[in-house]
């Protein structure tokens, strides 16, 4: 049976850049690879391309499935497809695994071409700016001079923002969802606890665990459990899990085994992630988040920085998101308005918290759909 | 130099109960010990005693110092002393290390009298109800028939609440600060991540780490770092630490070493705690928190449960406390009002978050002082 509005069966491609990349850290990558996927077709004018940037644990597989048997579609499949809010009948959509990732792009798990050995801990720390630089290489390779838009949520939204500052001439629209112009102390604090749980896991072995047979699953598991607390609102946790127990008929079990449903949920999410994700990538992604700060921690400065931007903006935040609250999105909007940049802003009343950006919601998706319809008309 | 308004040099005492204690878990302790301290004098009528209950990481050492050289006073020294809000010239104040604690009371670190071996993981899980039962044994031993008050913040506030339900005839005043009638799913979630970081630390060794030379410091450290995030408000973290770096003149360091001040703070707190606290006690304290739920997860039921209470109440919450928000304190107040129980409630606008209950603040301490003055007049 054909899935409705799906991009269908998809394949990933590998982009090899023989151009070197000078990273913000001062380290030079002589060459690098980016794993990517595209959906829809690039039009003759080559002006209908939308880059979709991923967040902490995402990758290039935005939509579709790899086979008929594939259990799960891409991570933003509810948004991207023929007739969907980001309509692949109209747009050429690009998903890319960020540099430092672990799904095919150059990263800690891949081979260092110089040494012919796994990078491991020696893979440099990458920043949002570095990602945007490398993404620009990819779109240039794909023959695109100017993107119709960059779209992202959370850390992906930071990339969409950075695109508008770093390559103002190459971007027509920036869609920044559930993001912030930098992290707060509390945001950094959560990232640091997650990192410390990985760094102090004995099996982490200073990041060189690929040759040993032990993966730092304990640390990654704790990091992910903690992450999930911050992705959900207090309210939605209450209504979904509350104080419910996995065994309803029982009294307290008086042990440290899983007992409440919320515990069961977190342990499941932690175990799953620890078996799938790369610990070296995880700690690098959190560091990219911590470092991102185009206005150098000065809200007023954001207006100055955004003076360069030439794109139109759609900014969306969610009322129950306590990781990146609406106030943080409003800082971006304020910076744009100070420069008379065209911006649509929606603060949506969602119950789910930060995770709302990944969920299918009529109002939310309606706003994105109508924005992209407008973008398409202007091509 | 004599410290102003201090209870001065103090000594702890040990109470040995030869009465057995039937725990909520169904397990019987044949006998047990409680470490405690007292400040001030019990009056002739023996009706001026105030029990101070501690929270997650506290103990019986509420006020004063053990020697002139002692670097830090007891954990609530700013509140308890001659002329202080809880005035030891007027009241006989009792601090007790809860059962399952690690500062002298029977707990995982102590010797099981039956086996003559360290309890370790075999020490049972204790509940708030069990604590109150054992505290009642202690005050009976001290010759007190009825307490002038029980005072506590956070988990300590839950004990103050439980006293009013469990021994209504034995309590004149219950002072419940920064507490809740039970934990939310989010509260349990944070506790579970803390527990999992301890339980999965290889050095935890299923709780039997006293005979090995390795302590589960990694896990306890992560648990404490996480705890500290929830003790502070987002705002106070922002104003105290913001995005400041420990080395102001430097660019990003592009490594995983401590870099932001908030990271430094959390790592310091985590290290300190991991060297001092007992992991088996920590996981038991969090379980007592998770289990406490006198109304069995039914807000309406709280009124029924509180019907028994005969004490007057002072309930205090702090506006920026997101661990136990004011809404949770209001549930308690509502339950009391439904029963026409005398209650004073103050929602204080503090910036510090949950930690505010331990801090010296004129308004906050003024409220407690005047409440205790009234209590004293009614003796």
Each residue of B331-378: pLDDT tens digit? Answer: 999 999 999 999 999 999 999 999 999 999 999 999 999 999 999 999
pLDDT at res. B2: 60
Nearest alpha-carbon partner for B120 in B130, B110, B129, B128: B110
**What is the spatial distance between Cα B337 and Cα B335, in angstroms, rounded to a whole number?**
6
Element (H, E) at B177: strand B173-177
Determine whether the interchain pair A197/B192 forms a contact, defined as Cβ–Cβ distance below 8 Å.
no
Whether B16 contacts B48, CB under 8 Å: no
Whether B29 contacts B124, CB under 8 Å: yes
Q: Is B378 on the interface with A (CB under 8 A)?
A: no
Q: Which residue out of B6, B57, B105, B154 is catalytically annotated?
A: B154
Whether A47 contacts A170, CB under 8 Å: no
**What is the spatial distance between Cα B112 and Cα B118, in angstroms, rounded to a whole number?**
6
- Other beta carbons within 10 angstroms of residue B334's beta carbon come to 17
Model ipTM over 0.90: yes
Q: With left for phi above 0 and alpha for psi between -120 and 50, is residue B181 left, alpha or beta? A: alpha
| Banded pLDDT at B137 (limits 50, 70, 90) | very high
Q: Say how far residue B222 (Cα) sits from the centre of its chain.
A: 20
The residue to which tokens 């940037």 are assigned: A53
> Residue B206 corresponds to which tokens in the numbers above?
């299923």
Please calculate the CA angle B237-B243-B245 and round it to the nearest 5 degrees.
115
Judge whether A354 counts as a catalytic residue.
yes
For chain A, 379 residues long, give each residue's pLDDT as a single digit of tens. 467 899 999 999 999 999 999 999 999 999 999 999 999 999 999 999 999 999 999 999 999 999 999 999 999 999 999 999 999 999 999 999 999 999 999 999 999 999 999 999 999 999 999 999 999 999 999 999 999 999 999 999 999 999 999 999 999 999 999 999 999 999 999 999 999 999 999 999 999 999 888 999 999 999 999 999 999 999 999 999 999 999 977 789 999 999 999 999 999 999 999 999 999 999 999 999 999 999 998 878 999 999 999 999 999 999 999 999 999 999 999 999 999 999 999 999 999 999 999 999 999 999 999 999 999 999 9
Best B22, B26, B129, B186 member to test A by mutation, with max A CBs in 10 Å, is B186
pLDDT at res. A298: 82
- Which residues make beta-bridge pairs with B87? B81
Determine whether the interchain pair B225/A193 forms a contact, defined as Cβ–Cβ distance below 8 Å.
yes
How are beta strands A86-87 and A149-153 bridged, if at all? unpaired
Q: What is the DSSP letter of A348?
A: E
Q: Please, which residues 227-246 of chain B have a Cβ atom closer than 8 Å to chain A? A: 228-229, 232, 234, 237-238, 240-243
Judge whether B61 counts as a catalytic residue.
no
How close is the nearest chain A Cα to the Cα of B91, in Å? Answer: 37
How are beta strands A343-348 and A312-318 bridged, if at all? parallel
**What is the spatial distance between Cα A199 and Cα B209, in angstroms, rounded to a whole number?**
22
Determine whether the interchain pair B237/A287 forms a contact, defined as Cβ–Cβ distance below 8 Å.
no
Who contacts A275 (Cβ-Cβ below 8 Å, separation ≥6)? A217
**What is the spatial distance between Cα B155 and Cα B100, in angstroms, rounded to a whole number?**
14
Determine whether the interchain pair B199/A256 forms a contact, defined as Cβ–Cβ distance below 8 Å.
yes
End-to-end CA distance of chain B: 34
Residue B3 CA: distances (Å) to CA of A362, B19, B41, B77: 65, 40, 20, 11
Domain ranges of chain B: 13-182+294-377, 188-286
Nearest alpha-carbon partner for A142 in A46, A252, A72, A64: A46
Greatest Cα-to-Cα distance within chain B, rounded to the nearest angstrom: 67
Q: Which residue out of B87, B321, B329, B352 is catalytically annotated?
A: B321
Whether B134 contacts B113, CB under 8 Å: no
B295-304: average pLDDT: 89
Q: Say how far residue B296 (Cα) sits from the centre of its chain.
A: 22
Return the residue of B nearest to A322 by Cα. B234
pLDDT at res. A111: 96
Helices (H) and strands (E) in chain A, counts: 10, 14
**What is the spatial distance between Cα B217 and Cα A213, in angstroms, rounded to a whole number?**
24
B243-253: average pLDDT: 88
Whether A98 contacts A62, CB under 8 Å: no
pLDDT at res. A2: 60
- Which residues make beta-bridge pairs with A177? A153, A316
B68-77: average pLDDT: 96
Arch. (CATH architecture) of B188-286: Orthogonal Bundle (1.10)
DSSP helix/strand/coil, A291? helix
Interhelix angle A185-199/B261-276, rounded to 10 degrees, is: 50
| Banded pLDDT at B1 (limits 50, 70, 90) | very low
> Residue B289 corresponds to which tokens in the numbers above?
């928190």
Cβ-in-10-Å burial (0-12, 13-18, 19+) of B54 comes to: buried
Q: Is A9 on the interface with B (CB under 8 A)?
A: no
| Fold observed for domain A13-182+294-377 | Rossmann fold (3.40.50)
Cβ-in-10-Å burial (0-12, 13-18, 19+) of A364 comes to: buried
Q: pLDDT tens across A176-228, in order? A: 999 999 999 999 999 999 999 999 999 999 999 998 889 999 999 999 999 99
Whether B290 contacts B190, CB under 8 Å: no
* Phi then psi dihedrals of residue B78, to 5 deg: -70, -15
Question: Given a cut of 80, is residue B3 above it in pLDDT?
Answer: no
Interhelix angle B128-141/B155-166, rounded to 10 degrees, is: 70
Q: Please, which residues 251-270 of chain B have a Cβ atom closer than 8 Å to chain A? A: 252, 254-256, 259-260, 262-263, 266-267, 270
Whether B138 contacts B36, CB under 8 Å: yes
**What is the spatial distance between Cα A169 and Cα A306, in angstroms, rounded to a whole number?**
13
* Phi then psi dihedrals of residue A121, to 5 deg: -65, -15
List of chain B residues whose C-beta atoms are within 8 Å of the C-beta of residue A241: 185
**What is the spatial distance between Cα A42 and Cα A22, in angstroms, rounded to a whole number?**
29
Q: Which residue out of A321, A326, A329, A355 is catalytically annotated?
A: A321
- Taken in order A58, A60, A61, A67, the sign of the CA dihedral is negative
Q: Is A182 on the interface with B (CB under 8 A)?
A: yes
């Amino acid at each position: 049976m054909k899935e409705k509005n799906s991009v269908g069966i998809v394949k990933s491609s590998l982009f090899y850049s023989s151009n070197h990349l000078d990273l913000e850290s001062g380290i030079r990558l002589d060459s690098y690879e980016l794993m990517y996927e595209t959906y829809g077709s690039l039009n003759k004018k080559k002006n209908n391309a939308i880059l979709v940037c991923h967040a902490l644990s995402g990758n290039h597989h935005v939509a579709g499935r790899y086979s008929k048997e594939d259990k799960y579609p891409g991570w933003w499949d509810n948004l991207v497809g023929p007739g969907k809010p980001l309509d692949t009948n109209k747009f050429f959509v690009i998903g890319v695994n960020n540099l430092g990732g672990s799904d095919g792009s150059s990263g800690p798990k891949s081979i260092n071409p110089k040494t012919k050995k796994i990078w491991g801990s020696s893979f440099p720390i990458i920043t949002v700016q570095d990602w945007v630089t490398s993404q620009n290489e990819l779109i240039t390779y794909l023959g695109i001079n100017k993107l119709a838009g960059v779209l992202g949520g959370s850390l992906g939204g930071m990339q969409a923002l950075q695109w508008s500052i770093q390559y103002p001439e190459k971007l027509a629209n920036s869609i920044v969802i559930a993001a912030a112009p930098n992290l707060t102390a509390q945001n950094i604090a959560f990232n640091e606890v997650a990192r410390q749980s990985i760094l102090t896991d004995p099996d982490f072995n200073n990041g060189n665990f690929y040759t040993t047979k032990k993966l730092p699953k304990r640390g990654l598991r704790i990091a992910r459990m903690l992450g999930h607390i911050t992705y959900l609102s207090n309210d939605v946790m209450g209504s979904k899990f509350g104080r419910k127990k996995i065994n309803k008929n029982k009294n307290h079990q008086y042990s440290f085994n899983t007992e409440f449903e919320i515990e069961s949920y977190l342990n499941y999410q932690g175990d799953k992630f620890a078996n799938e994700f790369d610990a070296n990538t995880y700690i690098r992604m959190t560091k990219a988040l911590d470092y991102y700060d185009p206005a150098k921690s000065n809200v007023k400065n954001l207006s100055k920085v955004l003076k360069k931007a030439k794109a139109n903006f759609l900014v969306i935040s969610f009322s129950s998101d306590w990781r990146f609250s609406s106030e943080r999105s409003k800082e971006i909007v304020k910076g744009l308005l100070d420069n008379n940049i065209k911006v649509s802003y929606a603060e949506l009343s969602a119950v789910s918290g930060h995770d709302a950006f990944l969920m299918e919601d009529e109002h939310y998706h309606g706003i994105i759909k109508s924005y992209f319809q407008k973008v398409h008309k202007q091509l």
